Structure formats: structure tokens, C-alpha cells
A = this chain, B = another copy of it.
């Protein structure tokens, strides 16, 4: 066992993953690439190449040349309304194709439909976030190979660097034409941005668009050009609109969470970044949205306009843009109907790829331009390390998302959450899993105030006046941790076997932590 830079013991070799030597996490910005991107397979199409159209997913799979043992990819913009992953896996099973590695950008509860195929060996490996039932299955040892977790930026990095080779990419296409041009902005399964799918289209050996809305050539706008798409499968429904985009996302009304949001907002106001041109990412959670709401008031009060909002975009941000408080939106995933409508109609609402959003190995992802990000975590520790992957019982239930990328990129990374959830502390001595190193986390905001990473002396200084007036109660990490301990008592240690069920990669491809199999629950 070797220790990486966040003091995690990493086995020198992990079955189903490989050697970890030379791949241990060394620091948030320690690893740099050399050499060249892994190029996509060259093709040639002529006017006589024939039609790309298939009448069914199964026919497209046959035409793709997919074989047992290969790697297939999916994107998750259809979220919990996605019909594509389950249909593709089922079709593979029916075609006798097995031992597949699936490489989704994320899986949702709806994808528990593939559990029987995990059990039967159709799917033998998962590289991507596993939530809900699949996460539970993995945590308890139900998958032969460990899951590999990557951030939204780490995933395209893995593809361009050749760490992951996609044999066949299946791209859910809310609208497509016969040449394979794809847009997420029209059709009954419209989801807005399809930013996560860009890299898959550009690098996979074979690219299959799956659509329920085939339109005349050429569609416009085009998000992914047909020059990357080999096959177009036409099917009845690619998704359930109700599961794809939620109604307008709402700010929390819980007084505790509003208090946390208020503290976080004050911290931003006190920071040197609160000036004309500030940029921020807040995602779709209740607390972050409330922070946005408080910031909206503060921006109006102090006559400040933000330059851009980034990441997964909600209707709340769309409203800020309409009000003139935010000038641009950079959207890798449109969370709700408002956002999906906006990206289809407003040129200042820019669709960005995951590469553009967060890849550390290009000429500068959008996260590098970010001033402030508000994040959550299942727990943080006294070193400010954050865990977003495992729950208090040690079960692997969440993906990394853009957590690592935005924390590394933003000038001010805030984790805002209640100190306890039920009897579970959110601040601990040592997180069960390190997703994001404390080095890139600047502040923890709880209902007890603001806890600033001691390395950010500048931030502490900036908060002095606010702290004096109690608008920002400052609480040092040791006090916060002690408070959590006194409220929750000692926690039962999580009992695991030695078997590694998941590898958490830092966005640069190094191993920041591993997740071990849970001991069989006696229930």
C-alpha cells in the first residue's frame, strides 16, 4: 500500500483497473500531460455510402459491429427520463452481446433496469457514476470489476488521453437528421444542452445517434455535426419528458437552509470577487439556489452585474439573465424546462461541451474562469477534504459531477450544508472517501457560520468587518468539528471488506481514493 497526497492507502494493483503506480494523486495541479491526443478512427463516406438510418436500436447495434467485451458510452441529459441506456443494454442481451463495459456520463434511478443484465454478465464493468439501486449493488459487491468514477472534466480527459477508448457511443438525440446532425433543443424529449455527449461523438470508433424526432436535413441549430455520426437509429420514444426536465427549480424555504444560504451569500459579498463581472456556478440544489437568490438582491443593491453563470443551468439563472444581472450562461446541462427553452432561443445562452466546461487538459476550461462555486458534500473533514461519493454507511451512491473541476477552477469554492443530517455529522475528522482535496476547498458554510480554510488568509481578512458585525459568524474548523461530534456522538465505524469496488479518480486521472465493499448488512 502506498499513501497518496491526501493520505489514502492505495493498493499498487487493483483487479479490473490495473497498476496504480505512477498514478497516485499528487496534488490538485500536479499532473500535466505530454504527447498527443488519442485520435478518432478515420472514416470515409461518399455520396454512395448508403443510408445511415436504422429502423430500430437493434439494427443499429448490428450495423455498428458491436461485440462482446467492448466499451459503449452514453450521456445523461435525459436524466431520469432516459429510455436509451436500458433499451440498448436489453437489445445487446437479445443479440447475445455481453461482457460490456459501459461508460455513461451518469446513471440514474431509471437505469436500475440494467441490474438484471449486470447479474447476467451482459454488463460487466461500469465507468461512470452509479446512483441508487446500482450504487447499492456495487457497494455490496454485485459487480465483478470496480467502478471507475470520474468528474465531468476528468471523463473527457480520459478519452482524449486514451485512458478510455469508446468502441461504440450511443447518443440520445432529441432531434436528428438523416446525416446524423444532432440537437437537444427540439423534439418531445428536448433537454437543452447535450454538452456531455460531444467528446463521445468526436472520439468513439462508431457513433450511433438514437432519435425519436427525425427531421429534414439539415436541422438547425446543430450541436453535434453528422460528420461524427455513423448511424442514426429511429425509435418511438427516447425518453419521458417528465423525467428529463423538471418544472422550474425552487429556492429552499427551510429556515435552517436559508440561514446557511445567507451566510454563504455574505461570504461572497465580503470576498474580493464581488464586483462587476463576477461569475458563479450554483447548480440546482435548494441551498445554492437560495444563495443565488440572496446574491441577486446584493447585486441589485450594489449595482453589480455578473459576467456569466456556468454549469448545469436552471430557470433561476435564466431569470437573472433576463433581468440583466447575468450577461451570459454557459450550459453543459439544462436542468429544467426554462433552461431548455432559453438555450434554444437566446444566443447569449451558450451550449458548452464537458471538455470546454471542465477538462483540465485543454487550453483552459470554463471552470478556470469561475469566481465562485457553491457545492455540497455528504461530508467534509478537518482538512477540508470533501466526500460526495459515499454516504454515511459507506455506500457508493453519488457521482462526482463537476465537484472536483469547479473546486479546482474557482477562485472561491464554498461547500454549504447543514452541520448534521439527522444524527449524521457532515463535518468529521476524516472523510470516508476523498472526492475533492481540501487544498481546493476554501470555505465550509453551515448554520453555525463560516469556516474558512486557514490557507486562505486573504479571505479571513476580507471577512473581518462582516464578522465584527456578526453578519458572518466565523467559526474555526476545530470548533465546528467538536460541535458536530457533540451533537451526533461517536459514529459507528464503517465496516468494509478488502475488496475495492470503486476507484475515485482525480480529474487528472490519478487515484485520489478507493471505495471498498461493504460488509454484508445484517438486516
Interface residues contributed by chain A, number (CB under 8 Å): 66
What residues of B have a CB within 8 angstroms of the CB of A48 in the complex?
Answer: 29
Residues 354 to 368 of chain A near chain B (Cβ within 8 Å): 355-356, 359-366, 368
Copies of this chain per assembly? 2
What residues of B have a CB within 8 angstroms of the CB of A160 in the complex?
Answer: 39, 42
The verdict on A220 contacting chain B, using a C-beta distance below 8 Å, is yes
A39's partner among B39, B227, B364, B368 (CB-CB below 8 A) is B39
* A interface with B by C-beta (< 8 Å): 29, 31-49, 52, 160-161, 179-180, 207, 216-218, 220-222, 225-230, 277, 307-308, 327-328, 330, 347-348, 350, 352-353, 355-356, 359-366, 368-369, 408-411, 508
Closest 8 CB pairs of A and B: A37-B39, A45-B364, A33-B42, A227-B362, A39-B39, A36-B39, A32-B44, A47-B368
Closest Cβ of chain B to A146, distance in Å, is 26
Listed by A's residue number, 8 A-B pairs whose Cβ atoms lie within 8 Å are A35-B42, A39-B160, A42-B160, A45-B360, A45-B363, A207-B363, A218-B366, A220-B348
A359's partner among B180, B227, B408 (CB-CB below 8 A) is B227
Q: A36-B38, A46-B408, A218-B369 are known; give 12 further A-B pairs, CB within 8 A.
A: A31-B44, A33-B44, A37-B39, A39-B39, A39-B160, A42-B161, A47-B411, A179-B369, A218-B366, A220-B347, A227-B364, A228-B362
Compute how far the CA of A114 lies from the CA of B36 in the bound complex, rounded to whole angstroms: 32
* Smallest CB gap from A346: residue in B: B220
Q: Is the CB of A218 within 8 A of B328?
A: yes
Closest Cβ of chain B to A63, distance in Å, is 13
What residues of B have a CB within 8 angstroms of the CB of A222 in the complex?
Answer: 350
What residues of B have a CB within 8 angstroms of the CB of A330 in the complex?
Answer: 218
Compute how far the CA of A350 lies from the CA of B225 in the bound complex, rounded to whole angstroms: 11
Closest Cβ of chain B to A332, distance in Å, is 12
